[in-house]
Amino acid sequence: MAGGSAELVEHTVARLQGKTALVTGAASGIGLAIAARFATEGAQVVFTDITGDACTRACHEHGGALALELDVALDEAWGDAIPQVMDRFGKLDVLVNNAGIALLGDVETLSVADFDRTMAVDLRGVFLGCKYAVQAMKPARQGSIINMSSISGIRAQAELVAYNAAKAGVALMTKSVALHCGQQGYGIRCNSIHPGLIRTPILDKLLAQSEDPDALLAGFIATHPIGHMGEPADVAALAVYLASDEARFVTGSAMSVDGGAAM
């Protein structure tokens, strides 16, 4: 019995106590679940999103420490946000590059403008986040960068040509950043998360672009051996692990949380 209660105590200790974390796209879906879970795990969480009002509301409702409007595709927006975090908290321990968009279209139907927009948010946004986070974290010789890729960064779908390209890019860029930080001795870890189908507003927006949303959704779910979609909390649980010191030996990894979809 004594062993059992010791175990219980261990599991109730906040796993991110004392850490400062910034989450992009924190007003909705997976980003919101990660930011809220980080706060319950004791982190000082900076909620950021392109939608300022929704982000401020989410921050207040879920125990955040600071809300900032941040369009991840803009270099100057990062240049504005990161100094505010450093001024306020003196450090950045964790960055979650979560913000993303998914625009439906195959190689014939997707417009060049939609391709460019996908790249700007889903790939350039992650690059900028990594660039600014490495600068902020390296003096402390520690930090964890978590990049949100997707099952779509591993397996192709005809109707997601730009999203596939961006998310696959995130996977290898993550390894490049991890390698660089290792070579430089910065102590900064960088890993990617690859969720399968998760029930969030991005999915509704994607389905709304289809002529047959029911068939598209059924087709997506059919590729998940577990037989159903996941929830944002499933992804947040993995993000807590990667953000925490429990993952101190984990860098350059591509971790799936996908009901077996990558098999």
Ligand X SMILES: NC(=O)c1ccc[n+]([C@@H]2O[C@H](COP(=O)([O-])OP(=O)(O)OC[C@H]3O[C@@H](n4cnc5c(N)ncnc54)[C@H](O)[C@@H]3O)[C@@H](O)[C@H]2O)c1
Catalytic residue positions, numbered: 163
Minimum CB distance to ligand X, residue 150 (Å):
4
73 binds ligand X per the rule CB under 6 A: yes
Q: How far apart are CA 129 and CA 75, in angstroms?
A: 9
- The answer to whether the beta carbons of residues 132 and 88 sit under 8 Å apart is no
Distances in whole angstroms, Cα of residue 146 to Cα of each of 7, 91, 101, 114: 28, 17, 17, 25
Minimum CB distance to ligand X, residue 93 (Å):
21
Piece in contact with ligand X (CB under 6 A), picked from 66-74, 78-86, 105-113, 128-136? 66-74
Q: How far apart are CA 207 and CA 213, in angstroms?
A: 5
Exposure pattern of 35-62 as b/e (b: 16+ CB <10 Å)?
Answer: bbbbbebebbbbbbbbeeebbbebbeeb
Distances in whole angstroms, Cα of residue 216 to Cα of each of 54, 151, 197: 29, 16, 12
Minimum CB distance to ligand X, residue 149 (Å):
7
101 binds ligand X per the rule CB under 6 A: yes
Would you state the structure tokens that stand for residue 124, as one six-digit string?
Answer: 């350039």
Q: How far apart are CA 220 and CA 153, in angstroms?
A: 15
Q: Pattern of binders to ligand X over 121-140, x per CB under 6 A?
A: x---x---------------
**From the list 195, 240, 242, 256, which residue makes contact with ligand X (rule: CB under 6 A)?**
195
Closest to ligand X by CB, 20 vs 28, is 28
Residues 165-194 that bind ligand X (CB under 6 A): none
**From the list 35, 68, 92, 203, which residue makes contact with ligand X (rule: CB under 6 A)?**
203
- The answer to whether the beta carbons of residues 190 and 177 sit under 8 Å apart is yes
Minimum CB distance to ligand X, residue 203 (Å):
5
Q: Site residues (CB under 6 A) for ligand X? A: 24-25, 27-31, 49-51, 70-73, 98-102, 121, 125, 148, 150, 195, 197-198, 200-203
